[in-house]
């Protein structure tokens, strides 16, 4: 059985009937996006439990083997020519276990959103679209689809029509815009409904993006 990750939890209102599981980026911590929740206009959403898991600390090859919070190892700046499939799959199992915990706590699977930024975005896309039960949506911020060459055969039909919110900065030097565009195109080519947004920013979050995230949550988790 997969051990549950440590998490920070916030509730938008008492007795939540929906959940957003939100993964941080490489080198960050579980509180990285918790401060964003009060900035979201969630009027019109059902009560949401926001779950921010903490990635384990692992050596990161691209950073000289320095140990930091990471969902998987990185070998090069292009992100895709060599990938840590075993690490990605380990984190997939850990995130899927958090989904199952929410279901056990009374949240219907189709009231759960997987979200993430950068490496956390990669994990949200990878995990959500392989889950055996339909979820409400995916929020993929400033990241990419990992192991894209396997995706067509490994994806689960349960989430073939699940809405995907993708956002990227036009000046992102960390996960370049083309990496996000290639992922968008790969998903769209297989029929996945992608809502694509760009913002004039580097590898960060834009004020307009925060409003668009809130609008997406109102769409997929309506009251």
- Residues classed as catalytic: 118, 172, 203
d(CA 140, CA 100): 20
CA atoms of 198 and 215, how far apart (whole Å): 15
Q: Phi first, then psi: what are they for 174, rounded to 5°?
A: -95, -60
Contacts of 80 (CB under 8 A, 6+ apart): 144, 146, 148, 179
Task: Write the secondary structure of 111-130 as one string of H (helix), E (strand) and C (coil).
Answer: HEEEEEECHHHHHHHHHHCC
């Amino acid at each position: 059985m997969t051990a549950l990750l440590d998490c920070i939890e916030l509730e938008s209102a008492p007795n939540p009937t929906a959940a957003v599981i939100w993964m941080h980026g490489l080198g960050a911590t579980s509180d990285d996006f918790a401060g964003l929740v009060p900035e979201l206009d969630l009027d019109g959403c059902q009560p949401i439990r926001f779950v921010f898991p903490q990635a384990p600390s692992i050596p990161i090859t691209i950073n000289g083997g320095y140990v930091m919070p990471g969902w998987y190892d990185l070998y090069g700046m292009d992100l895709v020519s060599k990938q840590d499939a075993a690490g990605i799959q380990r984190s997939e199992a850990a995130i899927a276990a958090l989904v199952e915990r929410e279901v056990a706590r009374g949240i219907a699977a189709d009231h759960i959103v997987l979200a993430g930024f950068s490496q956390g975005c990669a994990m949200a896309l990878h995990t959500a679209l392989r889950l055996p039960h339909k979820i409400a949506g995916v929020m993929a911020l400033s990241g990419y689809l990992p192991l894209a060459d396997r995706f067509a055969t490994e994806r689960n039909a349960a989430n073939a029509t699940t809405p995907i919110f993708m956002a990227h900065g036009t000046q992102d030097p960390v996960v370049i815009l083309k990496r996000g565009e290639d992922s968008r195109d790969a998903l769209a080519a297989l029929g996945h409904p992608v809502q694509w947004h760009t913002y004039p920013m580097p590898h960060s979050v834009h004020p307009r993006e925060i409003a668009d995230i809130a609008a997406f949550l109102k769409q997929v988790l309506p009251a």
